[in-house]
Amino acid sequence: MQDWWYGIEHEILDCVRTCRDVTPAELARKLRMSEAGVNSLLAMMAAEGKIQIRAVGAVPDHVSAC
């Protein structure tokens, strides 16, 4: 794995261990990355079993009855 990825992966892991429930937007701000980029990294880390993605929520103005 490339060195740049190793550093970012460890920053993400440190943050989720410290903050527990953190949003991709919060991680993006901390890492100075786009939210889409962070989402991509989180998906790869989840696929590798390094993190768990445990919650999904609707944006308030897009909520509909199920």
pLDDT tens-place string over residues 1-56: 467 777 899 999 999 899 878 899 999 999 999 999 999 999 999 999 999 998 88
Per-residue confidence (pLDDT) for residue 58, from 0 to 100: 80
Per-residue confidence (pLDDT) for residue 60, from 0 to 100: 80
Counting the structural domains of the chain, the total is 1
CATH number for 25: 1.10.10
Residue 42 lies in a domain: yes
H runs (alpha helix) in the chain: 3-19, 24-31, 35-47
Assign 66 a pLDDT band (cuts: 50, 70, 90). low
Residue 30 lies in a domain: yes
Per-residue confidence (pLDDT) for residue 63, from 0 to 100: 60
In angstroms, the Cα distances linking 53 to 2, 4, 38, 59 are: 24, 23, 13, 17
Residue 66 lies in a domain: no
- Range of 28's domain? 3-56
Query: Distance (Å, rounded) from C-alpha 49 to C-alpha 30?
Result: 22
Residue 52 lies in a domain: yes
